Amino acid sequence: MYADGGRREGSAAVARVAACPYGARGLNRGFCAMKKNSVVRNYFVLPCCLLLLNLCVGLVSYKAKIVADPLERTAVIMAMVLFGSSLVGFLVAPAIETLVGAVHRGSRRSLGGLGEVGFLLVLGILVYWLYYRMYILGPEHLLPTEWRNPRL
C-alpha cells in the first residue's frame, strides 16, 4: 500500500489476483470464477440475448403490418418493442445466465468444461436456427399458425 492508498501494478497482491492460477485459494478462487463467468456472460450470453431481442423486433415488424393507420402502427410497434425488450431483458437473459451458471457448476464436477461448452454450443445453434427461420423462411415460420398475419 502506498501513501495515496492505492496499489501499484508491481505489487504482490495485484499480481496474485491478476494471475488466477488453478490452485487459487480463498478470495482469489472466487475472483477467478467471477472473472470467468463475466467473460462467458459478456462474450456469449449477452450477444445471444441481443440476437433474440432482434428477432423480437423482426416479429414486431411482421405483426405490425396488420395495422393500416401509420400513427396506430407506430404506437403498436413501440408498445410491442417495449414489451419484447422487457421480456428479453428481465426474463430471458437472467434465465440464460442462471442456466449457464448451473451448467458451469455441474459440468465442472462431472464433465469438466465439456458440459458448459455443449450448452453454449446448443444455445448458439438454437439462435442460428431461429435466425434461419426468420430471414430465410420468413417471420411467419416462427409463429404458430393461429398467430400468423392473414393473407391479403
Q: If 0-12 CB within 10 Å is exposed, 13-18 middle and 19+ buried, where does residue 84 land? A: buried
Q: Nearest 5 degrees, angle CA 141-CA 68-CA 146? A: 30
**CA 57, chain centre distance (Å):** 16
What's the whole-number average pLDDT of the chain? 76
87: Cβ–Cβ under 8 A, 6 or more apart, which residues?
Answer: 56
Contact 46, 93 (CB under 8 A): yes
pLDDT for 147 beyond 60: yes
Q: Running DSSP on this structure, what letter comes out for residue 144?
A: -
Residue 64 in grid coordinates: 405490425
Confidence of residue 137 (pLDDT cuts 50, 70, 90): very high
pLDDT digits (tens, 9 = 90+) for 51-107: 888 888 898 889 999 999 999 999 999 998 888 888 888 888 888 878 777 776 776
13: Cβ–Cβ under 8 A, 6 or more apart, which residues?
Answer: 7
**pTM of the full structure:** 0.62
Alpha carbon distance 57, 77 (integer Å): 9
Predicted confidence at residue 79, as pLDDT, reads 92
